[in-house]
Amino acid sequence: MTAAPVPLSPTSPMTAMTAITPLTLNAPVSDVTVLEDRAHVIRQGSVTLPAGAVRLTLAGIAPVLADKTLLVTALDAPLATLAVAAVRVERTPLIIAADKPEAIAAREAERRRLEAAITQATAALSMLDGELETVQHLGVQTVADITTDAAWSTPDVTGWNRALDAVAEREAALGERRLGLERTLEEQQRQLTDLLQRWAEASTTQTTMSAQLAVDLQVAVAGTYRLQISYLVPAACWRPYHTAEAAAEIDGRMPETIRLATDACVWQNTGEDWTQVRLRCSTVRSSLGTAPPLLSSDPLTLQKKETALVVEVRSQAIETTGGAAGVPARTVMGIDDGGEAQVLSCDGPVVIPSDGMPHRLPLGSMQAPAQWTLLVCAELSPAAILRSRQANAAATPVLAGPVDLIRRGGLAGRATVLYVAPQASFDLGWGPDGDIRVHRTESRVDDKAALLSNWTTTVHKVVISLSNLADSPRTLTVQERIPVSSIEQVRIEPDAAHTIPAAQPDAQGIVQWTISLPARGQSTVTLQYRLQRHGAVVGV
């Protein structure tokens, strides 16, 4: 890798030297850390350098890299023996195959041919429509002539049939020609549309720039040096993707364990392929700023106190440490890591081409015991949902993302999971049981307030009918909720006497029953509660 020294250009940052030696550096991509919306790329390579001024060039680098993030360092080399004088990216326009002059000429010729064929077919179709209209008019006139002849002369049935048959045959032939011409015109229009679409895609999605890295070095001691180049590139991202697999069922019993595997779904279209690289996926958000928020005025005004207390009913999610009933999903695009940055490594070297397509890479898996339940929440869905509850047995959290459900050796559906901390429980819904039928009705009765009382009572009644169409018994967990009041002017009391089977709500107002349905059996669950509100309350 030696070459004759060349004079240093006047604009070079190394003008104090008399000559510079050009060399080529071979430094493939070795490590990549993919973030939510970018990637940190590290290249490493060894090169033998002579003493003096050296200019290294590295071809095939990503043209979209951020220049200000470029960093070139010498590994295991004292600072006095090697100094980096300048680093820059040299970008040049790249003429792709689709934009070569001969390709453009061929594409223009094909476009003109198709447009001419479409014009000719359209004209032929117009002429054929005129001829077909004339034949149809001839048929009408023939029928009129036959009517006149039948009234004034001896009937000639044979001649009439022959005339009508000739008109019908001519009309059928013209109809077949018209149908074939329509099909030809549609095919030509489709070919022209495809050609224009391919042309547009080739001009927008292909890489139009090539780039090489130029590094100016001042070498004090000749020898072999190991260099590292790092930079940030956009057009790269990753998202977690999970697969939950239930073990094989034995004698109709549900599997005892659930295996949850986590993959990294990686996209990149940076212009450089990542071949045999060590890949890490990070949730660090380096783009988040640290500037304090701007303060604005908050004026206070006096308002007349309302005599009526306005109350509204709202649904509140039950917050836990994780799982389907955990904290609400993030309102911003990105990965929910619970506020603690995670860096996950893929096993072994991986290959991710620069094609903008998703590539799934395994990050890890865990296996945990599962508790299976047929859950009925009739207010949300008129079905019995098969639910598995398991704990995160891994040392790392489960990041929020979609989950492919594998059961009985095939895909059973798709669910989602929110952020789940280590050792926290979470739920997975495996779809409805087709043998269970659920019907829910709700009614309410308003009582007028007593003469000497300001309180009004409303009786709410919920009836859930359950049916089992299977030949085997089913055990269901039925959940229903009653409102929970946070003010003294609204009181909610369960009616234990009319709640069948007997059950009491928990602190969140959830009432739960365990119902055993025999084969081909039915059952009914009734919940009743009273809502009392003061006369000053408006809205419930």
- CATH code of the domain containing 462: 2.60.40
**Residue range 494-516, pLDDT digits in tens:** 988 889 999 999 888 899 999 99
> Residue 54 in contact with residue 217, Cβ under 8 Å?
yes
Beta strands in 283-409 (DSSP E): 309-310, 343-345, 350-352, 359-376, 384-391, 401-407
Residue 428 sits in the same domain as residue 363: yes
Residue 244 sits in the same domain as residue 214: no
Q: How far apart are CA 519 and CA 471, in angstroms?
A: 5
Rg (CA), the chain: 39
Which residues fall within 8 angstroms of residue 428, CB to CB, at 6 or more apart? 244, 258, 324, 387, 388, 390, 403, 405, 415, 417
> Residue 374 in contact with residue 476, Cβ under 8 Å?
yes
Q: Which residues pair with 43 in a beta bridge?
A: 29, 229
Residue 129 sits in the same domain as residue 221: no
> Residue 382 in contact with residue 312, Cβ under 8 Å?
no
pLDDT at 319 over 80: no
Where is mean pLDDT largest: 68-82, 316-330, 469-483? Answer: 469-483
Residue 346 sits in the same domain as residue 241: yes
pLDDT at 264 over 90: yes
pLDDT at 207 over 70: no
Residue 224 sits in the same domain as residue 115: no
pLDDT > 70 fraction of the chain, expressed in percent and rounded: 85
Residue 328 lies in a domain: yes
Residue 448 lies in a domain: yes
pLDDT at 240 over 60: yes
Residue 118 sits in the same domain as residue 251: no
pTM over 0.85: no
pLDDT at 17: 45
Among residues 469, 497, 465, 468, which one has the least CA distance to residue 478?
Answer: 465
Chosen domain end from 432, 464, 481: 432
State mean pLDDT over 447-458.
73
Residue 279 sits in the same domain as residue 383: yes
pLDDT at 290: 62
Chosen domain end from 387, 407, 432: 432
Relative to beta strand 52-59, strand 6-7 is unpaired
Residue 304 lies in a domain: no
Structure tokens at 6: 């060349």
**Residue range 144-182, pLDDT digits in tens:** 887 877 777 667 778 778 888 888 888 888 888 888 888
Residue 376 sits in the same domain as residue 442: no
**Residue range 365-424, pLDDT digits in tens:** 999 999 999 999 999 999 999 999 999 999 999 999 999 999 888 888 899 999 999 999
Q: Quick count: other Cβ atoms within 10 Å of Cβ 483?
A: 16
Domain that holds residue 473: 436-538
pLDDT at 146: 78
Residue 443 sits in the same domain as residue 408: no
Residue 377 sits in the same domain as residue 449: no
Instruction: Tell me how many domains the chain contains.
Output: 4
Residue 308 lies in a domain: no
How far from each other are the two terminal CA atoms of the chain, in whole angstroms?
84
Q: How far apart are CA 242 and CA 417, in angstroms?
A: 9
Confidence of residue 325 (pLDDT cuts 50, 70, 90): very low
Least confident interval from 199-213, 217-231, 252-266: 199-213
Least confident interval from 137-141, 187-191, 269-273: 137-141
pLDDT at 68 over 50: yes
Residue 249 sits in the same domain as residue 158: no
Q: Of residues 4 and 109, which shows the higher confidence score?
A: 109
pLDDT at 326: 40
pLDDT at 513: 93
Q: How far apart are CA 358 and CA 268, in angstroms?
A: 8
Give CA 369 to chain center in angstroms: 30
Q: How far apart are CA 183 and CA 193, in angstroms?
A: 15
pLDDT at 125 over 60: yes
Structure tokens at 61: 């680098």
The full DSSP string for 89-129 is: EEEEE---GGGSHHHHHHHHHHHHHHHHHHHHHHHHHHHHH
Among residues 25, 42, 35, which one has the least CA distance to residue 277?
Answer: 42
The mean pLDDT value of the chain amounts to 84
